[in-house]
Amino acid sequence: MERLDKIISNRTGISRKDAKAAISAGKVTVSGKIIRSSDFKVGENDEIFLGCNKISGNAHIYIVLNKPKGYVSATEDPEQKTVIELVPPELFRNGIFPAGRLDKDTTGLMIITDDGDFAHRILAPKKHVPKKYAVTIDLPVTDEMEKGFSEGIELSDGICKSAKLLKTGDFTCEVTLSEGRYHQIKRMFGCFGAKVTELHRLSMGGFCLPENLLPGECRELTNEELALIESKVNE
């Protein structure tokens, strides 16, 4: 059981002082009742509202973002916009971070969480959680690329694990990786002299980017979706 002011501060990013002020001003309800004492102990199943914003009650938060171009996958950056800035106040918590990196110009499925163990599980190469990308390149997609990806491309930091390339058009394909090295897809195509012009992550494990989530939008994952990420799919 945690104190109400601490939960509000942690989960919204406002200071403890501001959380206390909001509570004593009667702006906070716990399971439908206005609570004015900051040290009120919140139960696991209590629903907390700050004004009309619901504060997530789970121990950890798991957010899916449809990452737009122009945002870096970091919690802070002195010059550039970060994916964390796209998280709305009602989902924000201290300690959230992007679970895995997408390049600044890459779009699509990104998970943001404050659960380090979960992030490790979905990112660790040993766990083989497949990540599927839609790719557009500046040259025609060839059988050699498909063969090379499947056999394992040699990059400067070692041979890549076998990756699946499915041609979807002359210049487009879907690539499924089970590891996540720096600029991996761009470097893999670079071995064939091709430049990636568009890169969009479609899925992680068995979870696909929801079609109704517009670029820049976030929402909390359901427990079923969370389980899908860790479920292995047969590619």
Q: Whats the size of the chain, residue-wise?
A: 235
Least separation in angstroms between CB 193 and ligand URA: 16
Chain centroid to Cα 208, Å, comes to 12
| 106 binds ligand URA per the rule CB under 6 A | yes
> Strand pairing partners for 155?
158
Whether 143 is catalytic is no
Stretch that binds ligand URA, among 30-38, 151-159, 166-174, 182-190 (CB under 6 A): 182-190
Stretch that binds ligand URA, among 4-12, 99-107, 152-160, 223-231 (CB under 6 A): 99-107
Stretch that binds ligand URA, among 79-87, 102-110, 113-121, 146-154 (CB under 6 A): 102-110
Give the orientation angle of helix 223-230 with respect to helix 116-123, to 10 degrees.
40
| 66 binds ligand URA per the rule CB under 6 A | no
Report the distance separating Cα 139 and Cα 194, nearest Å. Answer: 6
Rg over alpha carbons for the chain, rounded to the nearest Å, is 21
Give 38 or 184: the residue with its C-beta nearer to ligand URA: 184
Give 199 or 218: the residue with its C-beta nearer to ligand URA: 199
- Give 162-175 as a DSSP string: P-EEEE-SSSEEEE
> Strand pairing partners for 71?
none
Burial of 118 (0-12, 13-18, 19+ CB in 10 A): middle
Give 19 or 173: the residue with its C-beta nearer to ligand URA: 173
> Strand pairing partners for 164?
176
| 102 binds ligand URA per the rule CB under 6 A | yes
Among 186, 206, 210, 233, the residue binding ligand URA under the rule CB under 6 A is 186
Catalytic residues: 103
Q: Which residues sit at the interface with ligand URA, rule CB under 6 A? A: 102-103, 106, 183-186, 199
